[in-house]
């Protein structure tokens, strides 16, 4: 059984064992030999390296001392672009102006994303940045092009949205997925690609800019969270 998301588990095999070996119980000497073999196979230094890099997520804001504040951030619109394509869309069509300023960053460490342990708001290796509209500081953008592991998604949401007030907050999520994953009765070869689909909650009363996503299509990972 896997002890954490992403762990490779080797299935046990009893090939080559005869009935007498299967029936033989493990003796104290056998257990001692097995422990010594495990020490050689998994030395203490290797285990220490694994524990050295925590899977904690830290959110740092520019106007907060030490990355923390007592009062929640006043925010009316929060747009989150998740994935490289969505983040590139923000960079090309929205952030390519002097109207935005970097105000925050997310630090995380997992199998595919490793940011430094710096306490600066803008580390050079960051892949998850927050921008604020200069003309209206209540409008925030989040450009998240890094991978957020399954066991980190709730922590990401808890720490990011824990810094904001929830009243009158409208959240828009931008994400992408392969056309091959789109479930439809017609052939995906005839679909005009790329195309837009939307999901919305019942609290969202504004008009959506594209058709709604049909069943049985779903959203996965951090956008779903």
pLDDT of residue 67: 42
Q: For tokens 């931008």, what's the residue?
A: 174
pLDDT of residue 142: 92
More confident position, 60 or 33? 60
More confident position, 98 or 48? 98
Q: pLDDT at residue 117 above 80?
A: no
**How many residues in total does the chain contain?**
225
Spell out the domain ranges in the chain. 58-64+71-176, 184-219
The predicted model scores a pTM of 0.66
Buried b (16+ CB within 10 A) or exposed e, 158-178: eebbebeeeeebebebbbbbe
Q: pLDDT at residue 202 above 90?
A: no
Q: pLDDT at residue 171 above 50?
A: yes
Q: pLDDT at residue 100 above 50?
A: yes
pLDDT tens for 72-81 read 888 999 999 9
**Low-confidence winner among 41-55, 56-70, 143-157, 209-223 (lowest mean pLDDT):** 41-55
pLDDT of residue 133: 92
> CA 106, CA 118: separation in Å to the nearest integer?
11
> CA 85, CA 67: separation in Å to the nearest integer?
28
pLDDT of residue 7: 40
Mean pLDDT, rounded, for 15-22 = 49
When pLDDT is cut at 50, 70 and 90, the band that residue 193 belongs to is: confident
When pLDDT is cut at 50, 70 and 90, the band that residue 182 belongs to is: confident
């Amino acid at each position: 059984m896997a002890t954490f998301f992403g762990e490779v588990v080797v299935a046990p095999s009893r090939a080559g064992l005869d009935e007498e070996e299967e029936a033989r119980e493990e003796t104290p000497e056998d257990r001692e030999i097995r422990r010594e073999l495990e020490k050689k196979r998994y030395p203490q230094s290797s285990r220490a390296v694994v524990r050295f890099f925590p899977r904690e997520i830290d959110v740092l804001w520019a106007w907060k001392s030490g990355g923390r504040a007592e009062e929640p951030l006043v925010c009316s619109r929060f747009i989150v672009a998740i994935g490289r394509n969505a983040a590139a869309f923000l960079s090309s069509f929205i952030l390519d102006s002097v109207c935005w300023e970097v105000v925050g960053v997310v630090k995380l460490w997992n199998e595919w994303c490793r940011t430094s342990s710096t306490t600066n708001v803008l580390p050079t290796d960051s892949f998850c940045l927050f921008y604020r509209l200069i003309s209206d500081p209540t409008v925030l953008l989040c450009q998240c092009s890094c991978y957020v592991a399954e066991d980190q998604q709730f922590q990401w949401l808890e720490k990011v949205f824990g810094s904001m007030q929830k009243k009158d907050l409208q959240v828009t999520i931008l994400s992408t997925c392969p056309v091959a994953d789109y479930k439809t009765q017609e052939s995906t070869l005839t679909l005009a690609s790329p195309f837009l689909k939307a999901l919305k909650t019942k609290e969202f009363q504004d008009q959506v800019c594209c058709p709604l996503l049909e069943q049985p299509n779903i959203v996965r990972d951090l956008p779903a969270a």
